[in-house]
Amino acid sequence: MRPAMRVVVVGTGGREAAIRAACARHGHDVIAAAAFDADAHAGVDLVIVGPESALVEGVADRCAELGIACFGPSAALARLEGSKGFTRALTAELGIPSPRFVRTNDHDDAIAWWHAFGGQVVVKLDGLAAGKGVVVPDSPAATLAAIRSLAQHGPIVLEELLTGAECSLIAMCDGTTARPLPIAQDHKRIGEGDSGVNTGGMGAYAPAPIGYDPDELTAIFIQPVIDHLAALGTPYIGVLYAGLMLTPDGPRLLEFNCRFGDPEAQAILELLESDLAELALACCEGRLASTSIVVAPGAACTVVAAAAGYPDAPVLGATITGLHREHADAVVFPAGTDGTVVTGGRVLAVTGRGADLAAARAAAYSAMGTISFEGMQVRRDIGWRAAGSLVTSYAAAGVDIDEGARAVQGMKAAVERTHGPAVLAGLGSFGGAFSGAAIKALDDPVLVASTDGVGTKVELAARLGRYRGVGADIVNHCINDVLVQGARPLFFLDYIASSHIEASMVAEVVTGMAEACAVSGCALLGGETAEMPGVYTDGAFDIAGTLVGVVDRADLLPTPNVAAGDVLIGVASNGPHTNGYSLLRRVFEWLPMDATPPGFDCTLGDALLRPHRNYLPVLEPALSTGRVKALAHITGGGLPENLPRVLPGACDAMVQLGSWPVPPLFELVRSACTAMDHHELYRTLNMGIGMVVICAEVDADTIQASIPERTWRIGSLAAGTGIVHLLP
């Protein structure tokens, strides 16, 4: 075994504290240095450079002159981080997947390129900015302001705005070989739900379940750079960190960094069982390929505590309590503190370890809960995207759509044996249809009935103590289910079950039902309230209901002339309505309900509890034209499984994705569920379309004009076998 080394770690932030800890636990003599001074560090065996600024200033070059092993690239190679324009030019030459870009010294040139590009862009300072020289404008005016502002500080780079989850691919490099450490995911923005301005990083976790193999990503994004620099005779030694965006078209390079990330290092290095100093020396000596890298099982989660006013104007001087306590499953890394008071923007980080991310996260937040200082900023949602990234289907969230379909098929024959000639639509339709001709001397009235429930949305309502909306949910869902057969509601009956009757809760739910009924002229006749201790857990409840409507047989939908060539008109949803909540609750398990993610006009809790739309007032004018052939209520199963319920067997629905704007809530889910393909997503959630109107192409303009809100032509019918095609 190699004897202990004297290791100088350049830098004094949280990242450097993690590097020192990783070296010290293998018995090395570790020295912390704000800067490398050869005279002050005689007899040093290894230098590990933490901050990018020290690399750009040439610490590795000075060590080379002195014959000291240095884990970090030369100043010339540190341009990979020091100049974004240099990196973009290199990646273009090497064919590394990256956004379109321009580098310029002139803001007028930048504005001209942006106008010619015609899309949203990210505006970046070309040089180093401690993670904060990046602006993601949300409007043309903001784009112009960002270009003009950043251009005052030097050259800028404009890049195509990419969408998707970000991850950090960090590799050890010895000039020839690159080998990745566990993939991490950073949380750059100051606010929960990834809102607010960019920071140096408010937390990270590893390994991030992104669905891509780290070795394959290294081969695509890092090894080509190592090979290129080796061929030029300038071998790259140190960490090369690729910041990646996981776009719908695959991973794309956002940036290169030439050092460990902060706070990624605090998470990744806590999982590293190998001797970091030995690995760094192996890189300096060109023998990384023969050196093992051992990573502990489980996960690590790092949470950052920032000063009041960070990142714009950190307030310094606050006294810190609890900083020096020891924790069994967490470690505290000081950064902007002298051990007593706040001296910098990011004050400290806490890293928890656990058998899985949930345990690591709990350990980190538990330890962070023992530390305090005035104005302390801590995001409560670190790691929230991991829950969604593990979901590959609705079944993985606890709801199996396929099993539900099998159950329907299993009962279909038995149910249909009870049907007589008066039953016009039954199992599998949105609502049961029963002719009333025998009981009332009208032209030919048909009774249409719907029974449904609110589903797991009630858990969220119970958790937040907001009940009125779910009362409206069940009524409006049932109104829409009979409306798709052309029926108007007559009366509604409700059913509420809970662990214990709580009068105020029941009153709120029923008030919500009564208000929804009144909007549509429907009588709330009554219902059942059941107290079921032992069946429901404390505080849990469930809601179901039955609605009966009526329509003349001549006006029943769908009409028999639905045919190829007909147009699909999408009418907006106002949220998830009452479907997909097993997935949504899992995806947002670690995101606080009072957070307001980017693009939202309300908190996440408000968006998720928005009551199901009632489409009767919206579609009444269209139905009165007599030109509507069919309606499809987009509920559980989404577009792929609800449209076929009104299609003739000889027609397929061709749905053009991108023909309507997907609301921010669904875009947030899409960005979190990186392993969930688009078909599964569109059959789990309505994705912004709550009702589809089918009409002849010649009538489409009339139908759209009659609907008093914006609608979209989202596709058409074609000859087929009764299935839905989601076209990119």
The string of pLDDT tens digits covering residues 111-122 is 999 999 999 999
Q: Are residues 464 and 609 in the same domain?
A: no
Instruction: Supply the pLDDT for residue 420.
Output: 63
Q: Are residues 649 and 532 in the same domain?
A: no
Q: Residue 427 pLDDT more than 70?
A: no
530 and 581 share one domain? no
Distance, in Å, from the CA atom of 454 to the CA atom of 469, rounded to the nearest integer, reads 10
CATH number at residue 148: 3.30.1490.20
Report if residue 527 sits inside a domain.
yes
**Can you tell me whether residue 332 is helix, strand or coil?**
strand
Question: Would you tell me how many other CB atoms lie within 10 Å of the CB of residue 431?
Answer: 26
Give 128's pLDDT tier (boundaries 50, 70, 90).
confident
Q: Euclidean distance between the first and final Cα of the chain, in Å?
A: 58
Tell me, what's the pLDDT at 371? Answer: 98
Token readout for 26 is 């293998």
**Residues 539 and 566 both lie in one domain:** no
Pairing state between β 523-531 and 178-180: unpaired
Residue 532 is predicted with a pLDDT of: 86
Assess if residue 366 is contained within a domain: no
Shared-domain flag, residues 451 and 544? yes
Q: State the CATH number of the domain containing residue 627.
A: 3.90.650.10
Cα separation of 226 and 370, whole Å? 44
Q: Do 152 and 44 belong together in one domain?
A: no
Q: Which DSSP helix (H) or strand (E) runs through 123? A: strand 121-125
Closest of 696, 668, 697 to residue 681, by C-alpha: 668
Number of Cβ within a 10 Å radius of residue 728: 7
Instruction: Calculate mean pLDDT across residues 144-157.
Output: 90
In a domain, 355, yes or no: no
Comparing 65-69, 72-76, 98-102, 387-391, which segment has the lowest mean pLDDT? 387-391
pLDDT value of residue 710? 97
Is residue 205 domain-resident?
A: no
- The pLDDT-based confidence of 415 (bands split at 50, 70, 90) is very low
Point out the domain boundary residue: 555, 574, 596: 555
Residue 501, domain member (yes or no): yes
Q: Does one domain contain both 459 and 481?
A: yes
Q: Indicate whether 609 and 725 sit together in one domain.
A: yes
Burial of 57 (0-12, 13-18, 19+ CB in 10 A): middle
Q: Are 176 and 222 in contact (CB under 8 A)?
A: no
pLDDT band at 587 (very low <50, low <70, confident <90, very high): very high
Q: Residue 174 belongs to what H/E stretch?
A: strand 165-174
Q: Indicate the burial class of 514 (C-beta count within 10 angstroms; 0-12, 13-18, 19 or more).
A: middle
**pLDDT attached to residue 428:** 64
Beta strands in 502-566 (DSSP E): 523-531, 541-552
CB-CB contact of 493 with 526 (8 Å): yes
Question: How many domains would you assign to the chain?
Answer: 4
**Strands 69-71 and 46-49: what pairing?**
parallel
On the 0-12 / 13-18 / 19+ scale of CB atoms within 10 A, 526 is: exposed
State mean pLDDT over 124-153. 84
- Domain identity same for 563 and 699: yes
pLDDT of residue 213: 95
At 375 the three-state DSSP class reads coil
The CA-atom distances, in angstroms, between 32 and each of 36, 307, 456, 663 are 10, 23, 53, 49
Q: What's residue 563's pLDDT?
A: 96
The residue-averaged pLDDT of 525-540 equals 83
Mean pLDDT value across residues 430-456 = 77
Model confidence over 75-85: pLDDT tens digits?
A: 999 999 988 88
**d(C-alpha 682, C-alpha 662), whole Å:** 11
DSSP, res 131: T
- For the record, the structure tokens of 712 come out as 């979209």
Which of 298-307, 442-451, 705-714 has the least mean pLDDT? 442-451
Determine the pLDDT at residue 411: 42
Question: Does residue 399 surpass a pLDDT of 80?
Answer: no
Using one digit for the tens of pLDDT, what is the confidence trace for 191-243?
999 999 889 999 999 999 998 999 999 999 999 999 999 999 999 999 999 99
User: In this structure, what token pair is assigned to residue 6?
Assistant: 């004297």
pLDDT value, residue 435: 65
Indicate if the pLDDT at residue 291 is higher than 60.
yes
CATH number of the domain where residue 432 is located: 3.30.1330.10
Neighbour tally for 416: CB within 10 Å: 11
Does residue 443 sit in the same domain as residue 588? Answer: no
The secondary structure of 273-319 as a DSSP string is: -S-HHHHHHHHHTT-GGGS---B-SSEEEEEEEE-TTTTTSPPP-PB
Q: Does some domain include residue 581?
A: yes
CA pair distance 495, 506, nearest whole angstrom: 11
Query: Which tokens is 572 given?
Result: 């907006």
Q: Is the pLDDT of residue 424 over 80?
A: no
User: What type of residue is 92?
Assistant: A
Same structural domain, 603 and 614: yes
Answer whether the bond into residue 73 is a cis peptide, omega within 30°: no
Alpha carbon separation from 441 to 165, 311, 444, 600 (Å, rounded): 62, 75, 8, 52
At 385, list the tokens: 């995207």
On the 0-12 / 13-18 / 19+ scale of CB atoms within 10 A, 302 is buried
**Residue 371 contacts by C-beta under 8 Å, 6 or more apart in sequence?**
305, 320, 321, 322, 323, 325, 332, 348, 350
Say whether both 586 and 527 belong to one domain. Answer: no
Q: Is residue 304 part of a domain?
A: no
Listing DSSP states for 454-514 in one string gives -TTHHHHHHHHT--HHHHHHHHHHHHHHHHTTT-EEEEEEEEEEESS--HHHHHHHHHHHH
* Mean pLDDT rounded to a whole number for the chain: 91
Contacts of residue 157, defined as CB under 8 A and 6 or more positions apart, other chains included, come to 84, 85, 88, 101, 102, 103, 123, 124, 125, 126
Vertex 685 angle, CA 683 and 688, to 5°: 120
Q: Is residue 584 part of a domain?
A: yes
Q: What CATH number corresponds to the domain at position 12?
A: 3.40.50.20
> Three-state DSSP class for 162?
coil
pLDDT of residue 410: 56
Best CA proximity match to 668, nearest among 385, 434, 324: 385
517 or 479, which is more confident? 479
Cα-to-chain-centroid distance, residue 676 = 11
SS3 641: helix
Range of the domain at 152: 100-161
Q: Is the pLDDT of residue 660 over 60?
A: yes
Check whether 188 has a pLDDT greater than 90: yes
Token pair, residue 289, equals 């390929």
- Give the residue from 538, 555, 572 where a domain finishes: 555
Model confidence band, residue 426 (pLDDT cutoffs 50, 70, 90): low
The last residue of one of the domains, among 161, 185, 214, is 161
